[in-house]
A and B are shown apart, each in its own frame.
Chain A
Amino acid sequence: MMPLAIRVRVAGERGSRVRLWVPVLPVVLVLSPILIVVALVLVGACIAFRANPLRALCATWRLFAALRGLRVELHQGPTHVLVNIS
């Protein structure tokens, strides 16, 4: 199952805060024309390097889908960065 949302939280030194909550599906839909071009480039590269394009596309999709659950948290002094893919 593909990721549903990406949550980014950054707290800086001077009390600055950035909070982002990105719903993945709408973003993928908006960017779909670019993604189609990227997929075509990927297929072209696979053909050039004699790799199976279908397997490459499947593996790329699996990699994207497997991102769900990834969490990176960094805390250094007043700086706090959190990226959570759910």
Chain B
Amino acid sequence: MNEQRRQILEMLSEGTINADEAERLIAALDRNDVVDSAAQPVAKGKIKYLRVVVDDRSDGEQTKVNVRVPIQLLRAGVRLASLVPQRSLDRANAELQRSGVGIDLTRLKPEQIEELIDHLDDMTIDVEDHDSTVHVFCE
């Protein structure tokens, strides 16, 4: 029995509420429990690969590219990138600013990028042209 039910029963025994009110409160608690259990995030299947599939016929000749990149490789790349010294990041930032790209690389933390990778399974990118298609997804 959880704490809220116990409090309702105590209120009933003290005469603060009557039996009908106690019944309504317990019913409301039951409804909340159902909603909470439905809102629990379902464990997602672990993605293993990032896939890039390109099909191009723009030159009159069919070109197919099929790339499968392990997600672990992305994670390892992020960890390697986190070793880049601060002064190199500052210089890269300056060059990016000069090129009109307003991205501050020093504010990108490895944990954030790893979180991004964790949510890649929701991502699907489909680009379709009359001659070519690009499909990026995770599996």
A interface residues, Cβ below 8 angstroms from B? 46, 49-52, 55-56, 59-60, 62-63, 65-77
Contact = CB atoms under 8 A, between A and B. Distances in A.
Interface of B: 48-49, 61-70, 72-73, 75-77, 79-80, 82-85, 88
A60 B48 contact: no
A60 B77 CA distance: 9
A59 B66 contact: no
22 contacts: A51-B84, A51-B85, A52-B83, A55-B83, A59-B82, A59-B83, A60-B80, A66-B70, A66-B75, A66-B76, A68-B70, A69-B49, A69-B72, A69-B73, A71-B67, A72-B66, A74-B63, A74-B64, A75-B65, A76-B63, A76-B64, A77-B62
A3 B90 CA distance: 35
Given A49-B88, A66-B75, A56 B68 contact: no
